[in-house]
Amino acid sequence: MLRRLCSLLRDKRMAYTYPLQLNFKLIALAPRISVRDASGQSIFYVQQKVMALKEHVRVFANEQLQQQLYEIRADRILDFSARYYFRDMEGRELGSIKHRGMRSIWKATYEIYAPGASEPTYKLTEDNPWVKVGDALLSDIPVIGMLTGYFLHPTYTLSHLQTGSPVLRLRKQPAFFESSFSIEKLDEGLEGEEEIRLLLAILMAVQLERSRG
């Protein structure tokens, strides 16, 4: 009980300086994602297990992997409609994310759930799918592919389902040899465990979008 209380208090007073910078290493065998705040301080470092039948993503405090903060696990084996659950190191569920499925093959849409909820409370939606198509098609062309990251910038907006108001925005940034994104905070009232849930959802969505191409 004391450990859980400490975890809740820690999440409640946690404040991030936006915009956050998310870097996805393209040359690594397993996906590696680092997240830093506007001052350059490490917030998350994400490591995914290689050749796992079920997605298992571990979220650390930094690249030294000294402190694991959270983990993300799929509820089924290699399934397009899998749901990915976030938990802290005490095993407490923080929420989950699920790809909407066949209805969003063209325009990526993810639904985000509160702990134990059967209905989503937020959604993450691709703003303009044509930008992603152009980025994917041109990235494999020699020389031109190296430059696409400087001209094509897919964006995703995370919004509250009930009100439709935007909360966070993910935008691809110019970068060589890695994918770089910025995360902008649009709702200053977002904080605590809810903020962590939405950031973990974005981290998982970035990996899933990368695997979709």
Separation between Cα atoms, residue 65 and residue 182, nearest integer Å: 23
**69 and 46 Cβ atoms separated by less than 8 Å:** no
Strands (E), 134-208: 155-160, 166-173, 178-185
Q: What is the pLDDT of residue 108?
A: 80
Q: Write phi, then psi, for 125 (nearest 5 degrees).
A: -125, 140
CATH code given to domain 19-212: 2.40.160.200
Q: What is the pLDDT of residue 154?
A: 80
**44 and 62 Cβ atoms separated by less than 8 Å:** no
**CA torsion angle 184 206 126 120 (round to 10):** -90
Q: What is the pLDDT of residue 9?
A: 41
Residue 69: Cβ within 10 Å count: 18
Q: What is the pLDDT of residue 166?
A: 97
Can you tell me whether residue 174 is helix, strand or coil? Answer: coil
Stretches in the chain below the pLDDT threshold 50: 1-6, 8-13, 142-146
Q: Against a cut of 0.85, is the pTM above it?
A: no
How far is residue 204 from each of residues 58, 165, 210, measured CA to CA in Å?
11, 22, 10
Q: What is the pLDDT of residue 25?
A: 76
Q: Write phi, then psi, for 87 (nearest 5 degrees).
A: -140, 150
Q: What is the pLDDT of residue 58?
A: 92
Return the sign of the alpha-carbon dihedral for residues 201, 207, 211, 213. Answer: positive
Q: What is the pLDDT of residue 51?
A: 52
**155 and 128 Cβ atoms separated by less than 8 Å:** yes
Q: What is the pLDDT of residue 127?
A: 84
Return the sign of the alpha-carbon dihedral for residues 4, 88, 202, 74. Answer: negative
